[in-house]
Amino acid sequence: MRYIALLRGINVGGKRIIKMQDLRAMFVAAGARDVETYIQSGNVVFGHARPTAARFEKEIANQTGLDVQVILRTADEWAALKHPFDDDDHVHVFFLAAKASVDVEALAPERYVVKNREVFLYLPDGMGRSKLAAAIGRALPTATARNWRTVQQLHAMAIQSVR
């Protein structure tokens, strides 16, 4: 079975640095195989018999001393992700470990939709200046966000590595 792991809050603003080479080694040490990373923000595609976020979090803490949240999805769960907006541009996704409710005000043209353990956002002016993204980030302090392009790339990696 293939999985995708998202690490929250590493390699942001020059803090909590984990080199991807080291991250791959940590995942292997925790029992993962065929480990690949994508960009520096903590995206890992791998195989494992029975992974748990806690297993990877513990290995990362043991190796780095950092408390890093890991969000896991199967490749099948990832393949089922569909955002509800008209186009792929300006879409971001907050990933959560468990279902949660979100009740924040969205000011047009920004919008969001909660589906299962994901919150899909349409942010035409980007994430950095978005009041909606900031409000959702405060409401979901243990979530981690990725843009739709990264979501698509991780899906392609998970499918490609199965072949």
What pLDDT score does 50 carry? 94
Phi, psi for residue 80 in degrees, rounded to 5 = -80, -10
The yes or no reply on domain 2-77 and CATH 3.40.50.970 is no
DSSP classification of residue 86: S
Confidence at 12, pLDDT banded by 50, 70, 90: confident
User: What residue segments make up the domains of the chain, in order of their start?
Assistant: 2-77, 78-147
What pLDDT score does 14 carry? 79
Neighbours of 28 (CB within 10 A): 14
Rounded Cα gap, residues 137 and 4, in angstroms: 21
Percentage with pLDDT > 70 across the chain: 98
Phi, psi for residue 113 in degrees, rounded to 5 = -140, 130
Tokens of 30: 């925790």
Tokens of 93: 């996704």
Rounded Cα gap, residues 53 and 70, in angstroms: 5
As a whole number, mean pLDDT of residues 126-139 equals 94
What pLDDT score does 161 carry? 59
Confidence at 9, pLDDT banded by 50, 70, 90: confident
For the stretch 83-132, pLDDT in tens is 999 999 999 999 999 998 899 999 999 999 999 999 999 999 999 999 99
What pLDDT score does 43 carry? 96
For the stretch 36-94, pLDDT in tens is 999 988 999 999 999 999 999 999 999 999 999 999 999 999 999 999 999 999 999 99
Q: For the chain, give the mean pLDDT.
A: 94
Taking every pair of Cα atoms in the chain, the longest distance, rounded to a whole number of angstroms, is: 46
DSSP β-bridge partners for residue 95: 118, 144
Tokens of 100: 């949660």
DSSP classification of residue 41: T
Name 9's Cβ contacts closer than 8 Å, sequence gap at least 6.
16, 68, 69, 144
What pLDDT score does 68 carry? 95
Tokens of 157: 């990696």
> CA quadruple 139, 143, 146, 151: dihedral positive or negative?
negative
